[in-house]
């Protein structure tokens, strides 16, 4: 992992080749929803906003993802 998503706060996960070698670990461009990087889940929301989905709707979904992530993180402890 390298950093956190600037939209939902989830960790940015490395992308790996089938042999396990990391080829990318810096997430996705979060603009125009946020400055910084986006996780794989929020990247779909960034693309939706770029294609016309209202920003408020995208950010509401990102909030849902963050709550879901926080709940799952609590279960692992």
Rounded to two decimals, the pTM is 0.71
Q: For residue 21, give its domain range.
A: 15-76
Within a domain: 7: no
Torsion over CA: 51, 37, 23, 11 (sign):
negative
Total domains present in the chain = 1
Within a domain: 33: yes
Nearby residues of 2 by Cβ (< 8 Å), 6 or more positions away: 12, 14, 25, 26, 27
Within a domain: 31: yes
- What is the model's pLDDT at position 77? 42
Within a domain: 5: no
- What is the model's pLDDT at position 58? 80
Q: Which residues of the chain have pLDDT under 70?
A: 1-2, 69-77
Within a domain: 2: no
Within a domain: 10: no
- What is the model's pLDDT at position 2? 65
């Amino acid at each position: 992992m390298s950093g956190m998503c600037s939209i939902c706060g989830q960790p940015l996960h490395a992308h790996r080749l089938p042999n396990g070698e990391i080829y990318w670990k810096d997430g996705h461009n979060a603009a125009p929803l946020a400055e910084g990087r986006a996780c794989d889940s929020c990247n779909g929301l960034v693309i939706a906003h770029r294609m016309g989905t209202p920003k408020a709707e995208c950010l509401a979904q990102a909030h849902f993802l963050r709550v879901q992530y926080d709940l799952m993180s609590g279960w692992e402890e």
